[in-house]
Chain A
């Protein structure tokens, strides 16, 4: 993996930005440091479902920006952290909607650029969400690797992937509800840990 920045040339190649929307929200008392850590872990989780050029920090800062500028209004009954987590999730969906729209425009753009034209089948990806599918498969493997030595956790992850509720999962794998709940907590802790690390596994 490439280093985040080149220490020998830093700070020549990098800027230190001290003012961020998340920092402003903390200074305004809307969130505290623990909330920010929780949101970092959630942002990293959601960013797993985005292409590598869209970073978790972009997702997080964009969610704060939308809250601060009022373009996303927080309902009175939803806590700030849950609200921001929801905004990040919807920003991710918005990204993929825009990607699909751009994919639909692609044949038209290519036709304009190349008047001679090539058969459509050579130009257009038949599955606009192919990129998303590849990312999903790769990230499932990476999450699975975090629980290489924990077969119970992998079973619960597989059940969540398939949309099974806790009762169905317990019945399928023959586990007690207590065991299921403790496995969910183990998974949660491992992913918080992965989310708070400087470089995410």
Chain B
């Protein structure tokens, strides 16, 4: 009988997860080292998603913050007026 894709895939994942449990610590650390990761360092990228997370903010919070952070047209005009005479934005 042909193996169903779900069953076969789950069998494979179970076997591979078991292999990972058996892997010596040195192998795990060697792979991290190959990837340039330093898990012992605070805030290491190796531990992203594990000891700290970067999560998208809910849309309504994003829009509130964007509104607060984006300067209004009046602010922009004010800044332009405060610029000393002869100065150019790009400095060229």
Chain A contacts to B: CB under 8 angstroms: 4-5, 10, 12-18, 20, 22-23, 26, 33-34, 36-42, 45-46, 48-49, 55-57, 60-61, 81-82, 85, 89, 129, 132-133, 136-137, 139-140, 143, 157, 160-163, 184-185, 187-189, 191-193, 195-198
- Rounded to whole angstroms, the CA-CA distance of A42 and B28 in the bound complex is 12
> Count of chain B residues with Cβ under 8 Å from any Cβ of A?
46
Closest B residue to A188 by beta carbon equals: B19
Can you give 22 contacting A-B residue pairs, CB < 8 Å? A5-B56, A16-B53, A17-B54, A26-B51, A37-B28, A37-B39, A40-B49, A42-B21, A56-B49, A60-B49, A60-B50, A89-B14, A133-B6, A160-B12, A161-B8, A161-B12, A163-B3, A163-B11, A189-B27, A192-B28, A196-B46, A198-B45
Given known A-B contacts A37-B32, A136-B5, A192 and B15 have beta carbons under 8 A apart: no
Closest B residue to A161 by beta carbon equals: B8
Residue B10 CB within 8 A of the other chain: yes
| Number of residue pairs spanning A and B whose beta carbons lie under 8 angstroms apart | 158
A184 proximity list for chain B (CB < 8 A):
19
Pair A41/B20 contact, Cβ less than 8 Å:
yes
Pair B31/A192 contact, Cβ less than 8 Å:
yes
A41 proximity list for chain B (CB < 8 A):
20, 28
Pair A13/B57 contact, Cβ less than 8 Å:
yes
Pair A12/B69 contact, Cβ less than 8 Å:
yes
B85 proximity list for chain A (CB < 8 A):
none
Pair B66/A57 contact, Cβ less than 8 Å:
no
Pair A48/B52 contact, Cβ less than 8 Å:
no
Given known A-B contacts A38-B28, A197-B35, A17 and B49 have beta carbons under 8 A apart: no
Counting from the closest, the 5 A-B pairs by CB-CB distance are A136-B9, A23-B51, A57-B49, A161-B8, A17-B53
- Rounded to whole angstroms, the CA-CA distance of A17 and B56 in the bound complex is 11
Chain B nearest CB from A73 CB (Å) reads: 19
A16 proximity list for chain B (CB < 8 A):
52-54
Chain B nearest CB from A46 CB (Å) reads: 6
